[in-house]
């Protein structure tokens, strides 16, 4: 960032005493500058160094303040003069960002010219007050069978995606982005602390599926300054918040807040803040809560837009009671838990239905899907308990055997290939086919293959969620009978 210069006008010049504060750099290292002076500096204010570099006031002390460097400048040295700018950190927003890859300051990272911003939004902003908010009442479909049927998400909800590394959390988030095609939902994907290869893979997936056209990717790579990794989720939130205030529906992916918390801890320890539980500073809860509280659905008088947040958090060996996971579980409106044991056994997506919950998504679920999925969650959890009991080799009653058969059938139906989201009509199709017993005569593998044939026929069928149950059942019976001849 460069300071704007005002041309000298001798006619308007007035002689007089002018006071200005100037500080000087005491120490510098690892993206942090320690500055003495500037007694009236405010938190999150931009300050300017004599070499043209810019910093962000991050900590106020009795004698010194700590600032985050917003560029890796070799010119900032001890003794250099520093002065106020009187501005807060902002990022460019608007339609020019769609299809672009930028850093947390809005600079282009995709090899194209920097976006020509006309509007700017502060990275840090107060969450909308209660009087501006509305109830979560419209569904946001992810395209995932388990999530949309059993753990539904509404527009304006904050749903945590949690689990061990490498279990499919980011894939679910990308499914949700891909499934917004044609739904007038703008997406912001924030990639924090990832390798360049991982970032490139995500961008290529978005480009191949056409999702990049209605998305913006904010990137702070693993080798970026810790200040950039710290600012990345706030930059993504500011971009989505601008659209929300204009009445648009938005979806924000934070991938992931584990690395964000580690970056904040790194900055805090460099500034000698006292660490608390598990070596994180005590205000890490406030950091994430003020970020996620900005996600909501606004009332019509405030524009009627929404911002749905899907923060991702990593656990270690499935430990949910660690400090950062428990913080985010208490902040969000529910969690989707990925189990490494399910992943290892080939049950994909590896979502643990028993540990996953959506506290407010059911209010937004379509009545037809809600009615069709009413007992499925309970039946599946009972099946898991019975299956565990059946491993002991005891002789089972016929009713128990039937429940086990139905449970194995359901588990096969719920399996889904990555990056292949399905429509809400497909959700209702499998729910009704399973709930009405149309798949009972088929093996689990046959049922899954038969439903795939049904899904391919749905787009041209004219069936909608509002269509009558009898219409759905007639079509489903016809399609399944064409695919398989049930055993006598």
Q: Could you tell me the two tokens for 242?
A: 């601008």
- Closest by CA to 200, choosing from 183, 187, 219, 177, is 219
Burial of 304 (0-12, 13-18, 19+ CB in 10 A): middle
Strands 119-122 and 54-60 turn out to be: unpaired
Distance CA 222, CA 197 (A): 11
Secondary structure (H, E, C), the chain: CCCCCCCCCHHHCCCCCCCCCEEEEEEEECCEEEEECCCCCCCCEEEEECCCCEEEEEEECCCEEEEEECCCCCCCCCCCEEEEEEEECEEEECHHHCCCEECCCCCECCCCCCCCCCEEEECCCCCCCHHHECCCCCECCCCCHHHHHHCCCECCCECEEEEECCCCHHHHHHHHHHCCCCCCEEEEEEEECCCHHHHHHHHHHHHHCCHHHHEEEEEECCCCCHHHHHHHHHHHHHHHHHHHHCCCEEEEEEECHHHHHHHHHHHHHHCCCCCCHHHCCCCHHHHHHHHHCCCCEECHHHCCCEEEEEEEEEECCCCCCCHHHHHHHHHCCEEEEECHHHHHCCCCCCECCCCCEECCHHHCCCHHHHHHCCCHHHHHHHHHHHHHHHCCCCCCCHHHHHHHHHHHHHHHHHCCCCCCCCCHHHHHHHHHHHHCCCCCCCCHHHHHHHHHHHHHHCCCCCCCCCCCHHHHHHHHHHHHHHHCCCCC
Choosing from 359, 377, 411, 432, which is the catalytic residue? 359
Distance CA 310, CA 190 (A): 10
Distance CA 116, CA 163 (A): 39
Q: Are 31 and 61 in contact, with CB atoms under 8 Å apart?
A: no
Q: Is 359 a catalytic residue?
A: yes
Cα distances from 194 to residues 199, 225, 401, in angstroms, run: 6, 13, 47
Residue numbers annotated as active site = 359
């Amino acid at each position: 960032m460069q300071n704007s210069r005002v041309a000298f006008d001798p006619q308007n010049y007035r002689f007089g005493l002018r006071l200005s504060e100037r500080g000087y750099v005491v120490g510098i290292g690892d993206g942090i500058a320690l500055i003495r002076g500037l007694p009236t500096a405010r938190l999150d204010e931009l300050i300017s160094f004599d070499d043209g570099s810019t910093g962000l006031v991050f900590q106020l002390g009795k004698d010194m303040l700590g600032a985050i460097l917003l560029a890796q400048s070799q010119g900032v040295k001890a003794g250099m003069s520093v002065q106020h700018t009187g501005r807060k950190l902002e990022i460019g927003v608007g339609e020019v960002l769609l299809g672009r890859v930028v850093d947390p300051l809005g600079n282009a990272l995709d090899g194209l010219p920097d976006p020509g911003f006309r509007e700017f939004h502060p990275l840090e902003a107060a969450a909308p007050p209660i009087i501006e908010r509305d109830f979560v009442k419209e569904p946001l479909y992810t395209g995932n069978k388990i999530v949309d049927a059993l753990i539904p998400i509404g527009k304006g909800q904050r749903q945590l995606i949690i689990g061990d590394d490498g279990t499919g959390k980011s894939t679910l988030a990308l499914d949700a982005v891909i499934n917004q095609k044609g739904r007038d939902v703008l997406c912001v994907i924030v990639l924090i602390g990832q390798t360049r290869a991982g970032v490139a893979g995500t961008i290529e997936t978005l480009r191949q599926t056409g999702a990049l056209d209605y998305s913006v990717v904010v990137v702070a790579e693993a080798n970026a300054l810790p200040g950039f990794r710290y600012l990345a989720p706030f930059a993504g939130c500011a971009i989505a918040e601008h659209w929300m205030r204009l009445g648009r529906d938005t979806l924000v992916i934070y991938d992931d807040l584990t690395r964000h918390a580690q970056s904040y801890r790194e900055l805090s320890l460099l500034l000698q803040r006292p660490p608390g539980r598990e070596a994180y500073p005590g205000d890490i809860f406030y950091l994430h809560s003020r970020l996620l509280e900005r996600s909501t659905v606004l009332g019509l008088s405030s524009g009627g837009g929404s911002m749905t947040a899907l923060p991702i958090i990593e656990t270690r060996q499935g430990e949910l009671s660690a400090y950062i996971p428990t913080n985010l579980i208490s902040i969000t409106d529910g969690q989707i838990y990925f189990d490494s044991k399910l992943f290892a056994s080939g049950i994909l997506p590896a979502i643990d239905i028993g540990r996953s919950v959506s506290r407010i998504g059911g209010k937004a679920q379509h009545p037809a899907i809600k009615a069709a999925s009413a007992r499925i969650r309970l039946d599946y959890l009972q099946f898991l308990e019975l299956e565990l009991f059946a491993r002991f080799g005891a002789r089972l009653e016929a009713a128990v055997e039937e429940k086990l058969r139905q449970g194995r059938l359901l588990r096969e139906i719920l399996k889904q290939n990555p990056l292949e989201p399905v429509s809400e009509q497909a959700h209702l199709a499998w729910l009704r086919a399973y709930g009405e017993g149309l798949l009972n005569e088929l093996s689990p593998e046959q049922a899954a293959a038969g439903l795939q044939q049904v899904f391919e026929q749905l787009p041209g069928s004219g069936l909608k969620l509002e269509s009558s149950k009898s219409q759905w059942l007639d079509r489903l019976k016809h399609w399944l009978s064409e695919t398989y001849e049930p055993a006598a």
